[in-house]
Chain A
Amino acid sequence: MDLINVDNVTKVFKGGEGSVTALGGVSFKVPEGDFVALMGPSGSGKSTLLTMLGAMNPPTSGSVIIDGIDVYSLTAEKRADFRSEYLGFVFQQFQLIPYLTAMENVMLPLAITGKSNREQARMAKEVLEKVGLGGKEGRLPNQMSGGEQERVAIARAIVNEPPILFADEPTGALDSKNSEEIMNLFKYLNREGQTIIMVTHNQEFLAHVKRTIFIRDGVLDRSRHPDSRIAV
């Protein structure tokens, strides 16, 4: 069953100097448990597509259906609830809240779930151990290495057990050793059933993912898919 169904989405930005087409009719499907890399040069429309998949950026036309829900038929507040329940985000440069400890950063998505602090702490501790940060719960982001901060960011993204995990250049700020470790962590999570969509520039990681979507000038670049590993 397809978890994500993107159907002919377009995005046109209207500015003072005319309109700019960021996405020009993109369609693809992602089945549950997939691990997809989203690749393309700068300005190709990757980030627009990622925020669109992330229920934050309504398309000019077309639809994004996740788990049978037409995401952009929901109101803005319902979309926020949808993000909380269905989606996890790992942003570029970790984007941890600097004045919160690792544990508190991970507990952040749980703050709006009505769970008690004790329950939140239990869940956060469990997921921090899962990403290999057991015993470092009380550290502030500036007391951790880049690799550790990335793990906290991943822990924060999956603590709610969302069906889909989005990662935007998750290894962009890491050295090759840490990047490899993070990719292994993603593979581990994927093996456990986590659907992952990752934006990356790094060709080396294509070997780790199950499928790749190439995008150029706002449309899928089919010439880059000789093995037809892309679901269309």
Chain B
Amino acid sequence: MQLRDIALKNLQRRKTKLLFMVFGIFFGIATIVTLFTLTGAMEQSVNRKISETGIKIAVSPETESASFSVGGIPVVSGVSYNVTDLPADTPDVIRSVTGADKIRVVAPKVMGMAAMEGSKVLLVGVDFESELKIKSWWDMVGSLPAGEGQALVGARVADKYRPALGSTIEVNGRQLTVTGILKETGEEEDGIVFTGIATARKALEKPEGYSFVEITVPRDEALAARVSAELTQKIPDTRVRVVKEASEARQELVERFSSFSLVVSLVMALIGVLIIASTITASVNERTREIGILRAIGFRKAHITRIILLEAGIVSGISAVAGYFAGMGAARLTAPLFADFQLTVSWNPLLGAAVLTGAVAAGLLASIYPASKAARLDPAEALRFI
């Protein structure tokens, strides 16, 4: 018979209370593990996307716009005029700036409003290979256009005109075969018809020049600023600006979710600590006589403390292990609900070790008061209740 045997035997005897305590801690730990795992996976996903896409720089022609209001009420707002295109050599100029070897993607675009079945849509000619590199979140039914005369339509356009894959749509009098339909992104591309640059030039009657060029550079703020400054100088009447990427906006969302998870985790941890403290305190109160006997037959205060802390440690440890596996399971089950993030939930032994250590430490911390209360029990006083 060792002290740990006494602790184990006592736990075995109080199965209902033990289960209640284990379940309370288990639930808290499982929740914490699920939240942390999902948050971690989201952060990984966003960081991966940010790292893949880098910093985006938009190069567009300098346009002028005017607004007019009467008595403070806007009558005409943001009307662009004097709209020009970027020079035809813009991609070449971009590839000639200092540090051009670091530019990852140059994605030029030719765009304009076009008539489609009696209404207007935005037609954008792109180089699909480059475009896909900067729009890594694109998800579609069908495939990207592989040649001229083909189109990829945004979700809103598809909802409105219901084109079938392989069918043709008429844009500015030209027949384009729909090879793919983008799934909803919640961004501008939902209302756009994408096609190849050559097709767009013909449909929009823009034989040369570009409407807009997107560039991505690695995540290096100084490099982005240098490239922007140089392009502003080299291409006349141009507006060059660093664009806030969608994934960066997602990063803010993840950060908010992370803060929320932290608050929930702290609340769960506090509840767990209170459950342990109250259950162990109740257990000590019930065992006054038993502890008095142990003290009377020579158990030191340290022995009693060790028995109580062992009980709390064992319960916390079991709950932590079960809670970790349940939490990971829940994270794996719920990960598909965050489809936009394309989460990859992987086993994290470090998190497991941290959960185990944290739970046992919290269990011991929560049991310090009842353990010291038990140890302080005066044996003569306890034996008076016999």
Set of chain A residues within 8 Å of B379, measured between Cβ atoms:
51, 56
Asked if B20 is an interface residue, CB under 8 A from chain A, the answer is no
B10 x A54 contact (CB < 8 A): no
Set of chain A residues within 8 Å of B295, measured between Cβ atoms:
56, 80
Asked if B250 is an interface residue, CB under 8 A from chain A, the answer is no
Complex Cα gap A14–B325 (Å): 57
Set of chain B residues within 8 Å of A95, measured between Cβ atoms:
289, 293, 386
B1 x A91 contact (CB < 8 A): no
A51 x B380 contact (CB < 8 A): yes
Residues of chain B at the chain A interface (Cβ within 8 Å): 1-3, 5-6, 9-10, 12-13, 289-290, 293-303, 378-380, 383-384, 386
Interface residue tally of chain A, by bracket? 35 or more
Complex Cα gap A51–B300 (Å): 17
Which of B12, B294, B298 gathers most chain A CB within 10 Å? B298
Complex Cα gap A76–B380 (Å): 12
Chain A nearest Cβ from B307, distance in angstroms: 9
Stretch with Cβ within 8 A of B (4 or more), from A36-44, A109-117, A131-139, A202-210 = A109-117
Complex Cα gap A104–B3 (Å): 12
Complex Cα gap A84–B295 (Å): 9
Tell me how many residue pairs across A and B have CB atoms closer than 8 Å.
83
Asked if A108 is an interface residue, CB under 8 A from chain B, the answer is yes
A117 x B1 contact (CB < 8 A): yes
Complex Cα gap A92–B342 (Å): 69
Asked if A57 is an interface residue, CB under 8 A from chain B, the answer is yes
A104 x B1 contact (CB < 8 A): yes
Complex Cα gap A80–B322 (Å): 39
Complex Cα gap A121–B97 (Å): 86
Which of A51, A104, A110 gathers most chain B CB within 10 Å? A51
Complex Cα gap A54–B293 (Å): 12
Partner among A54, A56, A80, A85 whose Cβ is within 8 Å of the Cβ of B299: A80
Chain B nearest Cβ from A159, distance in angstroms: 10
A92 x B386 contact (CB < 8 A): yes
Set of chain A residues within 8 Å of B380, measured between Cβ atoms:
51, 54, 56-57
A56 x B296 contact (CB < 8 A): yes
Q: Which residue of A lies closest to B290 (CB)?
A: A97
B1 x A107 contact (CB < 8 A): yes
Which of A81, A89, A99, A111 gathers most chain B CB within 10 Å? A111
Contact status of A109 and B300, CB under 8 A, knowing A56-B380, A56-B383: no
